[in-house]
Amino acid sequence: MHSASPSRLQLMMFVIVAYAFAWVTWSVGFIQSNVSQLSDTAFAPYLLAGSFAPTMAALIITAMYGGVTAIRDLLHRLLRIRMHWHIYLFIFTAFPAISIAVYVMLGIPNTIPLWQIAITLLPVAPLNALIGGIIFGYGPLGEEMGWRGFMQERLRHRGQRMWSALIIGVIWSLWHAPLFQIDDFRLGLDYGTFFPLYTLSLVLTSFTMAHLWRWSGGSLFAAIFFHAIINTTTSKLTDSTWWDLRTRTNLELYITVLVIFALTALLAEILHRTYGRITHG
Q: CB-side exposure of 218: number of CA atoms within 13 Å?
A: 15
User: What average pLDDT is seen over the chain?
Assistant: 92
Question: Please, which residues have CB within 8 angstroms of residue 110's CB and are 6 or more apart in sequence?
Answer: 103, 117, 242, 243, 244
**Is 96 contained in some domain?**
yes
Residue predicted with more confidence, 229 or 4: 229
DSSP for residue 160: -
**Is 46 contained in some domain?**
no
Taking residues 61-74, report their average pLDDT: 95
**Is 100 contained in some domain?**
yes
User: Residue 225 in contact with residue 137, Cβ under 8 Å?
Assistant: no
**Is 188 contained in some domain?**
yes
**Is 128 contained in some domain?**
yes
Percentage of the chain exceeding pLDDT 90: 84
pLDDT per residue as tens digits for the range 132-150: 999 989 999 999 999 999 9
Question: Please, which residues have CB within 8 angstroms of residue 77's CB and are 6 or more apart in sequence?
Answer: 149, 218, 219, 220, 221
Number of domains in the chain: 1
Find the range with the poorest average confidence among 92-101, 150-159, 210-219: 150-159
pLDDT at 278: 57
Domain that holds residue 93: 82-274
**Is 199 contained in some domain?**
yes
pTM of the model: 0.94
C-alpha dist (Å) from residue 240 to 125, 170, 279: 20, 30, 39
Taking residues 200-219, report their average pLDDT: 95
pLDDT at 1: 42
**Is 65 contained in some domain?**
no
**Is 18 contained in some domain?**
no
DSSP for residue 147: I
Residue 274 pLDDT level (bands cut at 50, 70, 90): confident
pLDDT at 281: 47
pLDDT at 33: 85
